Chains A and B, each alone.
Chain A
């Protein structure tokens, strides 16, 4: 579904990603793990067009993502839940969700999508007329995921969904990711919480200093000695 081939990217003269090869197949959940500053967020931003790669290619179902204007990438079926959620704090939950359905294709399905999101997050229905900035951290994460789901995506990019949340809420967020997956959605998730994310995904990549150091199924990654020592603490 999504294919990255020898991708370089960075900010100005600073290069953050070096020759990344990565693939996400339809129906899969794939994790990208690695330490702070490894380039995980840059990877997500380059896929959704917030920054442009300096080298290499990205294709989504055979279509060239790099050649697509940033605001048209949603139309390819890619929805990005950005780092720190980035809700519109002084818009209501309803209006935040409405922004997720901005593209003409999504507008036509607005009512249906809203019902889907409210089914998934009943809490959002209760809070729909509340300003997004007044929600708790967990609720904000639900709202951010809900906003991305409003565009009826094929591929959901999740950037550190557990960041800044209480342990109990982290558990809930990963439960949600499982439920979203079971609905047939393809997920690419970036996480520092390696232990949790490996329970949810089928395969994972280890990203360190801007390069892919290891990849494999979740079981293989859990048995990998480097990952065990550096990230799982066993």
Chain B
């Protein structure tokens, strides 16, 4: 094993593996946003702020109320799912037939409301769970368990969504609504109910991401800015609403950030990722897996 590893630049290998691990969580976030866009045709600009609220939920349950992590996580997921459904019911549903720009501005407004709410309610301190998971060492390479756990849990979450969408009547109806919403009532499907379920699912994915990210990052009212823009770019690069494209784009972006961070600072990794995005928008404006019409 050691001899095998010696033949590689182990820092490169470590960066590649860490990139893959990062890609898992980004793919989870992208799936949530894509689900909402693909089915309801609305972009939740405030998606990462739902994650932020979920992270605060975890912080309060674990640090303030002393719940064990494993008990708090499902509650946080349900809490953000409810928030997603509420967001749809209160903000999106009345604007369903409004021009897309109005919907975008409305969810942008929710972004600022959630940030301000968090600032007032939780303060601007950086907080964390106080849980430090050990680091896995393979040879000279180091991987944190929190990242490994996040990667595995994110994949399981996406797998659960996949089977839900493929196997259940409700999941099939969600995919059908994305293709032809006008005739859904002929199938006996209440489109409003499907939208609400989809929004709750999108929220649940943000909640799961919150549970995983809170192990790696401190939470503060503006933590959403660390994930929001990148998630949005991933979805656009993969083709908005395209689940497979979003999945691939998440790993492409994660690799660029991780490798860029290896050769320079982490910040430069983000710069490279955004530059790559702009170039790709010229080459494939409709996304990596654009559907040919």
Q: Which residues of A contact B (CB under 8 A)?
A: 48-50, 69-75, 79-80, 82, 86, 88-91, 95, 98-100, 102-103, 106-107, 147, 151
* Contact pattern, B 161-203, Cβ under 8 Å of A = 1, otherwise 0: 0000000010011011001101111111111000000000000
**Complex interface: chain A residues within 8 A of B176 (CB):** 88, 91, 95, 99
Say how far B247's CB is from chain A's closest CB, in angstroms: 17
| Contact for B175 among A70, A73, A91, CB less than 8 A | A91
- Whether A71 contacts B179 by the Cβ 8 Å rule is no
**Complex interface: chain B residues within 8 A of A98 (CB):** 169, 172
* 14 A-B residue pairs with CB within 8 Å: A50-B183, A50-B185, A71-B185, A71-B187, A72-B188, A82-B183, A86-B180, A91-B179, A95-B172, A98-B169, A98-B172, A99-B173, A99-B189, A106-B188
| Contact for A50 among B180, B186, B188, B189, CB less than 8 A | B186
Q: Name A82's closest neighbour in chain B (CB-CB).
A: B183
**Complex interface: chain B residues within 8 A of A147 (CB):** 187
**Complex interface: chain A residues within 8 A of B172 (CB):** 91, 95, 98-99
Given A91-B172, A91-B175, A91-B176, A102–B183 Cβ distance below 8 Å? no
- Whether A49 contacts B185 by the Cβ 8 Å rule is yes
**Complex interface: chain B residues within 8 A of A80 (CB):** 186
| Contact for A74 among B179, B180, B188, CB less than 8 A | B188
Kindly state the interface size class of chain B when it binds its partner: 10 to 19
- Whether B187 contacts A70 by the Cβ 8 Å rule is no
Chain B contact surface mostly: helix
**Complex interface: chain A residues within 8 A of B180 (CB):** 86, 88
| Contact for A88 among B169, B179, B185, CB less than 8 A | B179
- Whether A74 contacts B186 by the Cβ 8 Å rule is yes
Say how far A46's CB is from chain B's closest CB, in angstroms: 13
| Contact for A100 among B179, B187, B190, B191, CB less than 8 A | B187
- Complex Cα gap A86–B189 (Å): 15
Say how far A176's CB is from chain B's closest CB, in angstroms: 20
User: Lowest 8 A-B CB distances belong to which pairs?
Assistant: A70-B185, A74-B188, A103-B188, A71-B185, A71-B190, A88-B179, A99-B187, A88-B176
- Whether B169 contacts A102 by the Cβ 8 Å rule is yes
**Complex interface: chain A residues within 8 A of B190 (CB):** 69, 71
Given contacts A49-B185, A100-B187, could you give 15 more A-B pairs where the C-beta distance is less than 8 Å?
A48-B185, A48-B186, A50-B185, A71-B185, A71-B188, A79-B186, A80-B186, A82-B183, A91-B179, A95-B175, A98-B172, A99-B172, A107-B169, A151-B187, A151-B188
Given A50-B182, A82-B183, A98-B169, A75–B175 Cβ distance below 8 Å? no
